[in-house]
Each structure stands twice: as C-alpha cells, then as structure tokens.
C-alpha cells in the first residue's frame, strides 16, 4: 500500500512539474500549411495548443487594421487564440481575425460532420468562449487580453462578410440542406486603462 501511495505521489509530482513547465514555456498551436502532405493527412490547418507566451500589451488598440499587414511565412495573418476550458488548462488554436478599423472580430466556420454537433459544440474553442468569453490573442508576437461577444444578428454578419453566413446546397432529392455556417465574435480589449488617467 505504501508503494502505491509513493507511486501516486510521483505521478502527481511529474504531472504538476509538466504543467508548470508548459505554463512557463507555453505550448502554442501549430499551423499546418495547406500546401503540405500534413494538411492532406489531418484535413485541417491547425493543431491545438495550450498557453500563449509573449509580451502582454497594456495599451488600447484604436485601429486593428495592422493585422492585415502581419505576414507570417506560414500562417499569413491568422492569429493565435487562447480560450479557457472548464478544467482550467487553456485550449489555443489558430483562427481568422477580421479587423475593421477600431473594431475586431474573430471568425469561424463549420461544415460537414461538425454541423451535426450543434452550436456551440461544433468546435472546442466555440464552446469555450460561449461558456467563458475571456480570451487571449497572440498577434505578431504580442499578447492581447480581451472578451468576446457572439454577433447574433445575421444581417450584421452578412454585412461583415458580404454574403449570407449560412451556405446551402440542393441534394439529390431536390431538398435544400445547410452545408456550412460561419459565426463572428466581436472582440473587446480587457485590462486597458481608460480616459488617460490610469483607471480601469
């Protein structure tokens, strides 16, 4: 019995040491280049990660359009997003950011089998931000803390993307069926002093 307790304590200590190491070093999501065999094998452009690391920005962003100028050799201008899970260890992914001057949106779409899960369970990061809207974004090496809110007005989303966010097709029986759904979340910076006096 004593050996079992010692073994259990060793496993717990190793697990804690691993988590502390990952918290310090981060484990950012990987981006799979669509031009590579890895993309064909995984059928996705992103692999999940944990914590994002980098300098945390404490200044208000008045124009998010700089994101369009970021040109990572692999990810282009996609950003990294860290979300909060129910079990306390972050889940991070690479997502599309849609800057509109002083406004920023995050965008995600679901097709195929993912549609069967129903919103927000189509994707892990969707479920996470709908449960806890606090996020961290890594853009061009800098980390921005924010809160997001789902854009629920379909007309507003249609204006953002210039088309209906729900795509459909006609099946062999002549029935219309949904083939894809795109959602947008508005981003609001957190922990930023307002009014120039240092208040929050």
Is 10 part of a structural domain of the chain? no
Is 197 part of a structural domain of the chain? no
The length of the chain in residues reads 200
Of the candidate ranges 6-10, 65-69, 189-193, the one whose mean pLDDT is the lowest: 6-10
- Measured between alpha carbons, how far is residue 38 from residues 83, 94, 128, 135, 178 in Å? 25, 16, 26, 28, 28
Is 3 part of a structural domain of the chain? no
pLDDT digits over 71-127, tens only? Answer: 764 555 678 899 999 988 899 988 888 899 999 999 988 888 888 888 888 888 999
Is 113 part of a structural domain of the chain? yes
Q: Based on the structure, what is the number of domains in the chain?
A: 1
What is 172-187 written as a DSSP string?
TTS-EEEEEEEEEEEE
| pLDDT tier, 152 (very low <50, low <70, confident <90, very high otherwise) | very high
> Which range of residues forms the domain containing residue 153?
28-189
pLDDT digits over 156-199, tens only? Answer: 989 888 888 888 888 888 888 888 889 999 999 987 766 555 44
Is 194 part of a structural domain of the chain? no
The CATH number linked to 38 is 2.30.110
Residue 200: pLDDT above 80? no
């Amino acid at each position: 019995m004593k050996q079992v307790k010692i073994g259990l304590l060793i496993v717990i200590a190793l697990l804690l040491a691993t988590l502390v190491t990952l918290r310090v070093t981060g484990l950012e999501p990987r981006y799979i280049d669509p031009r590579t065999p890895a993309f064909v094998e995984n059928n996705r452009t992103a692999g999940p990660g944990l914590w994002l690391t980098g300098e945390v920005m404490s200044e208000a962003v008045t124009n998010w359009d700089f994101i369009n100028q970021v040109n990572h050799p692999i990810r282009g201008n996609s950003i990294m997003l860290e979300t909060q899970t129910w079990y306390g260890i972050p889940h991070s992914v690479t997502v599309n950011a849609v800057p509109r001057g002083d406004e920023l949106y995050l965008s995600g779409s679901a097709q195929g089998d993912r549609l069967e899960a129903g919103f927000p369970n189509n994707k892990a990061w969707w479920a996470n931000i709908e449960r806890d809207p606090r996020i961290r974004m890594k853009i061009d090496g800098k980390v921005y803390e924010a809160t997001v809110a789902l854009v629920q007005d379909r007309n507003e989303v249609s204006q953002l993307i210039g088309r209906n966010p729900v795509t459909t097709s006609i099946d062999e029986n002549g029935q219309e069926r949904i083939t894809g759904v795109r959602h947008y979340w508005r981003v609001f910076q957190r922990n930023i002093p307002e009014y120039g006096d240092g208040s929050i």
